């Protein structure tokens, strides 16, 4: 293929965090391959970056064993169609972004058919059965890892894995400007603010949203000046959250803007996931909550599927409990409010917490989007017939 050809990259991403990673990756790949084309499953950010969307990313946004079973026929149909399209179009690389339950099986089929495959965002092998690394290697020619502790685990199983840093670590300043974020959102400098992030999936909002709102009401009684901001991942999430019942007058529900809302806040109540990492990068004290379907929780606990007793990324990265986690039955409005109250009364983090967050932030900087694009370009360049040399 000549340098003037138009290489095709097919990407599959689920949910808002995958859409964000995918958009950044597309931009960086465009810098290396100006005539490249992109197609697959993604969200509005990937579409805006120039990708031809086959299905929206939220098609794959299903969590939990029980929940997946209900949507399985549709998911299998979408995966078959994505596989057939990819086999027909023969891209220079297929890039599965997170969504391992969907992507790894698809990647395995494509790899067996001779298509180069990349899995971007390692599944949590440090928490869920390390031996899965071998199976992941059977699906992906290269795994792109966001966290530095992951490639050594893959190396033990002979899998090509690269730490490329977390793009969010570059998106957040080491010293966030709270005053600027408050000006952007129109929030006064002298009032305590709690950010509410009940999740980017509709199921999370239905399971957690009312408890978050009830915790906010309890906190308002004890901190009368308290204001709230709730950034929503998309219009569907905003609609679902707003439908949970009467919202406090002091609550602003905004479209997007999680970065600014986190930096503007004095403390954060959030669903375990990428938002916990973002709150850490924003250097804000937080309380992490989560609840899954009771049957899913029973199966996970009974079968011993989880290898860790901590859940959120700040605690996992630190190797100790930096922030409170209130999971499953412990996720109650009174407990959430009690854990948050000290941060809001003092408008300060516990001693040493911000220093720990800053250290972890620096450890996650590895190039992000640019490093991911370089790793993919190098993989493609291993076969001159498969991919043009990047600029």
Boundaries of every domain in the chain: 8-165+366-381, 171-363
Give the per-residue pLDDT at 104: 95
Residue 245 confidence class, pLDDT cut points 50, 70, 90: confident
Give the per-residue pLDDT at 4: 44
Summarize pLDDT for 183-222 with one digit per residue, the tens: 999 999 999 999 999 998 888 999 999 999 999 999 999 9
- Quick one: tokens of 119? 């899995």
Mean pLDDT of all residues belonging to the chain: 89
Contacts of 180 (CB under 8 A, 6+ apart): 263
Residue 311 confidence class, pLDDT cut points 50, 70, 90: confident
Nearest 5°: phi and psi at 198? Answer: -80, 10
Average pLDDT over residues 54-65: 74
Q: Directed axis angle between helix 15-32 and helix 369-381, to 10°? A: 60
Does this chain's domain 8-165+366-381 share its CATH topology with 171-363? yes
Give the per-residue pLDDT at 240: 95
Summarize pLDDT for 73-96 with one digit per residue, the tens: 888 999 999 999 999 999 999 999
Fold of 8-165+366-381: Rossmann fold (3.40.50)
* CB atoms inside a 10 Å sphere around CB 257: 17
Residue 116, pLDDT > 70, answer yes
In whole angstroms, give the CA distance from residue 255 to residue 212: 18
Residue 297, pLDDT > 80, answer no
Task: Say which residue, 107 or 68, is predicted with more confidence.
Answer: 107
For tokens 């959030």, what's the residue?
270
Average pLDDT over residues 309-313: 80
Residue 246 confidence class, pLDDT cut points 50, 70, 90: confident
Residue-wise DSSP of 21-84: HHHHHHHHHHHH-TT-EEEEEE-HHHHHTTEEEEEEGGGG---SHHHHHHHHHHHHHHHHHHHH
In whole angstroms, give the CA distance from residue 204 to residue 227: 23
For tokens 């993989």, what's the residue?
379
CATH 3.40.50.2000 at 171-363, yes or no: yes
With a pLDDT cut of 70, the percent of the chain lying above it is: 88
Buried b (16+ CB within 10 A) or exposed e, 83-105: beebeeeebbbbbbbbbbbbbbe
> What residues does 163 pair with on adjacent strands?
145
Show contacts of 377-384: CB within 8 Å, 24+ apart: 377/29, 377/32, 377/33, 379/93, 379/116, 379/118, 379/141, 379/142, 380/7, 380/92, 380/93, 380/116, 383/116, 384/1
Give the per-residue pLDDT at 127: 64
Helices (H), the chain: 15-32, 44-48, 65-89, 100-112, 132-139, 150-155, 167-171, 178-185, 202-222, 235-242, 258-264, 274-281, 294-302, 313-318, 333-346, 353-363, 369-381
Give the per-residue pLDDT at 218: 97
Summarize pLDDT for 360-376 with one digit per residue, the tens: 999 999 998 999 999 99
In whole angstroms, give the CA distance from residue 136 to residue 107: 9
- Quick one: tokens of 256? 């997007």
CA distances from 163 to 33, 68, 73, 155, 159 (A): 22, 30, 35, 12, 13
């Amino acid at each position: 293929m000549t340098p003037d050809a138009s290489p095709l990259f097919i990407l599959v991403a689920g949910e808002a965090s995958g859409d964000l990673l995918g958009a950044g990756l597309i931009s960086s790949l465009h810098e290396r391959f100006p005539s490249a084309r992109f197609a697959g499953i993604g969200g509005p950010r990937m579409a805006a970056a120039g990708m031809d969307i086959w299905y929206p990313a939220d098609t794959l946004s299903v969590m939990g064993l029980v929940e997946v079973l209900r949507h399985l026929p549709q998911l299998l149909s979408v995966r078959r169609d994505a596989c057939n399209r990819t086999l027909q179009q023969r891209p220079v690389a297929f890039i599965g972004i997170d969504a391992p339950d969907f992507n790894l099986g698809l990647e395995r089929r494509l790899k067996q058919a001779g298509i180069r495959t990349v899995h971007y965002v390692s599944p949590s092998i440090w928490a869920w059965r390390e031996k899965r690394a071998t199976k992941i290697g059977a699906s992906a020619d290269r795994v792109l890892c966001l966290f530095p502790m992951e490639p050594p685990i893959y190396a033990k199983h002979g899998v090509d894995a690269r730490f490329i840093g977390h793009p969010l670590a570059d998106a957040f300043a080491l010293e966030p400007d709270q005053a600027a974020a408050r000006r952007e959102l129109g929030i006064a400098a002298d009032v305590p603010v709690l950010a509410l992030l009940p999740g980017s999936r509709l199921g999370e909002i239905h399971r957690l949203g009312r408890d978050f709102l009830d915790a906010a009401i309890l906190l308002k009684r004890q901190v009368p000046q308290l204001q709230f901001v709730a950034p929503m991942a998309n219009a569907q999430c905003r609609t679902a959250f707003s439908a949970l019942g009467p919202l406090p007058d002091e609550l602003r529900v905004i479209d997007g803007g999680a970065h600014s809302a986190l930096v503007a806040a004095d403390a954060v109540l959030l669903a375990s996931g990428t938002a916990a990492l973002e709150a850490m990068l924003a250097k804000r004290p937080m309380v992490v909550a989560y609840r899954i379907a009771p049957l899913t929780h029973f199966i996970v606990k009974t079968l011993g599927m989880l290898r860790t007793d901590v859940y959120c990324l700040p605690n996992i990265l630190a190797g100790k409990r930096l922030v409170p986690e209130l999971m499953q039955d412990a996720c109650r409005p009174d407990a959430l409010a009690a854990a948050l109250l000290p941060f809001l009364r003092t408008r300060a983090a516990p001693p040493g917490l911000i220093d720990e967050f800053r250290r972890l932030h620096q450890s996650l900087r590895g190039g992000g989007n640019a490093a991911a694009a370089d790793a993919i370009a190098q993989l493609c360049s291993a076969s001159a017939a498969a991919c043009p040399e990047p600029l």
